[in-house]
Amino acid sequence: MRTVNIHEAKTHLSRLLEQAARGEPFVIAKAGKPMVKVTAIDAPTGLDARRLGFMAGQITIPDDFDRMASDEINQLFGSDE
Residue 12 has pLDDT above 90, yes or no: yes
Residue 24 lies in a domain: yes
Which CATH number does the domain housing residue 26 bear?
Answer: 3.40.1620.10
Give the count of domains, the chain: 1
pLDDT at position 46, please? Answer: 63
Better-scored residue on pLDDT, 78 or 72: 72
- 19 is in which domain, residue-wise? 2-40+52-77
Q: Which residues contact 3 (CB under 8 A, 6 or more apart)?
A: 26, 27, 28, 29, 34
pLDDT in tens, 15-64: 999 999 999 999 999 999 999 999 998 876 666 666 778 788 888 888 88
